[in-house]
């Protein structure tokens, strides 16, 4: 470890005046300057607390090139971007994108251009995205009403650097795992799109007028999670809320635990079983998750629970209906709330399907089942790879595990 050097982030920044910058003053990048196209603005939704999601190239707002030049807060390939306000600890790295070459950071971001003669940018990303440094950044909160970090905090963040060749080798090991994870996610997205296309063709475009209407609660129960707030426990079971529903997975890393007693109490009302569907009812409404695991050991709060395990013939149809334009139109019509949107349990129980003949539905299930089996198997591989990466990351960053050069 003697060849590892500890320094502050400012010491590995590129040797020019604007190597470390903060975003523009708020009023200079307000909504009135947004355009339909132009230079994309990096905001908090483009960064993540999840290691491996290096940069989320989606959900941009734009400003004109003239406005971007006026602001001058550019971010380009290999730059690191940190969240400065709100959910601090988020960090991303801009990598060889095919969509955009340059960005502007928002007023809630900090940007660092690194000196590549001292540090491999991808190594820098993994260092600052590691749990050790996320906790360090959060501990440096300077805010009073919301969490904040400033340029002084950022410049002083510590980093331990092995020789550049070892940095590149470490980054290569970790990024190869992330590349495989990303490939599996993209394969799943393709399978989902194929399944949704088939659903639209079979049950929307080619729906028959003589199909009967059927109330969803005549097929299976619809419940919701607890409305109480069980106390956090140092050990126990995870409590899943709407914000923990992600594509084909649940975010267990950011849940809190509840006691076995509270877990059992919640499950008297809303026990999740294999082949049930979870549905986000608050905030971002309409996110879905099909539980395909053999063992379910979490409880739910303020989440819609479609008990499709009670009638498996309708499991895939229900999931794809909820994800289709039909489901999205339903949510749009029945959502309520001003400060925070929600959809009521009674509304979900009022859903009506146009029911195809049973043999037609079973034929569709036979066609679609292999898609979901592949998605399930891919998610098992993803979890295995993520566990390996998350185990290796602190060991590689501490020098406990060395990469053979």
Decide: helix, strand or coil at residue 192: helix
Q: Are 356 and 199 in contact, with CB atoms under 8 Å apart? A: no
% of the chain residues with pLDDT over 70: 99
Supply the DSSP string of 46-76, one letter for each residue: GSBSSTT------S-EEE-HHHHHHH--EE-
Decide: helix, strand or coil at residue 339: coil
Burial of 233 (C-beta count, 10 Å sphere; 0-12/13-18/19+): middle
The pLDDT assigned to 103 comes to 95
| pLDDT for 1 beyond 60 | no
Strand-pair partners of 110: 22, 82
Domains, in order of start, for the chain: 5-161 (3.90.220.20), 212-355 (3.90.220.20)
% of the chain residues with pLDDT over 90: 83
Bridging pattern class, strands 39-42 and 103-105: parallel
CA distances from 402 to 166, 169, 174, 390, 391 (A): 8, 9, 13, 16, 14
- Rounded to whole angstroms, the Cα distance separating 95 from 77 reads 5
pTM (predicted TM-score):
0.87
- Rounded to whole angstroms, the Cα distance separating 17 from 243 reads 40
Token output for 209: 């007028």
pLDDT tens track for 237-255: 999 999 899 888 898 888 9
């Amino acid at each position: 470890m003697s060849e590892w050097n500890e320094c502050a982030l400012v010491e590995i920044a590129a040797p020019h005046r604007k190597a470390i910058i903060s975003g523009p003053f708020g009023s200079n990048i307000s909504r009135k300057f947004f355009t339909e196209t132009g230079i994309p603005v990096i905001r908090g939704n483009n960064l993540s607390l999840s290691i491996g999601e290096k940069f989320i190239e989606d959900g941009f707002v734009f400003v004109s090139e003239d406005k971007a030049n006026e602001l001058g807060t550019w971010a380009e390939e290999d730059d690191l971007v940190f969240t400065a306000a709100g959910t601090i600890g988020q960090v991303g790295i801009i990598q060889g994108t095919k969509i955009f070459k340059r960005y502007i950071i928002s007023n809630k971001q900090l940007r660092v251009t690194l000196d590549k003669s001292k540090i491999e940018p991808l190594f820098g990303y993994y260092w600052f995205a590691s749990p050790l440094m996320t906790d360090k950044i959060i501990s440096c909160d300077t805010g009073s009403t919301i969490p904040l970090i400033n340029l002084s905090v950022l410049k002083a963040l510590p980093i331990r650097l092995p020789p550049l060749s070892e940095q590149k080798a470490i980054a290569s090991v970790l990024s190869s795992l992330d590349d495989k994870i990303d490939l599996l996610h993209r394969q799943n997205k393709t399978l989902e799109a194929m399944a949704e296309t088939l659903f639209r063709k079979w049950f929307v475009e080619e729906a028959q007028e003589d199909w009967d209407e059927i109330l969803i609660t005549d097929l299976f129960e619809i419940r919701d999670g607890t409305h109480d707030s069980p106390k956090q426990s140092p050990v126990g079971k995870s409590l899943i809320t709407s914000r923990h529903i992600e594509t084909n997975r649940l975010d267990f890393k950011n849940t809190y635990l509840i006691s076995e007693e509270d877990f059992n109490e919640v499950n008297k009302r809303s026990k999740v079983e294999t082949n049930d569907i979870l549905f986000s009812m608050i905030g971002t409404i309409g996110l879905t998750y099909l539980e395909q695991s053999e063992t379910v050991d979490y409880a739910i709060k303020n989440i819609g629970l479609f008990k499709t395990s009670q009638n498996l013939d309708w499991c895939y149809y229900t999931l794809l209906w909820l994800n289709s334009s039909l489901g999205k139109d339903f949510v749009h019509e029945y959502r309520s709330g001003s400060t925070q949107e929600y959809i009521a349990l009674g509304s979900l129980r009022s859903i009506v399907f146009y029911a195809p003949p049973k043999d037609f539905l079973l034929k569709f299930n036979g066609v679609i089942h292999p898609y979901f089996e592949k998605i399930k198997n891919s998610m098992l591989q993803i979890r295995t790879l993520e566990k390996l990466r998350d185990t290796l990351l602190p060991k590689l960053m501490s020098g406990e595990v060395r990469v053979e050069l």
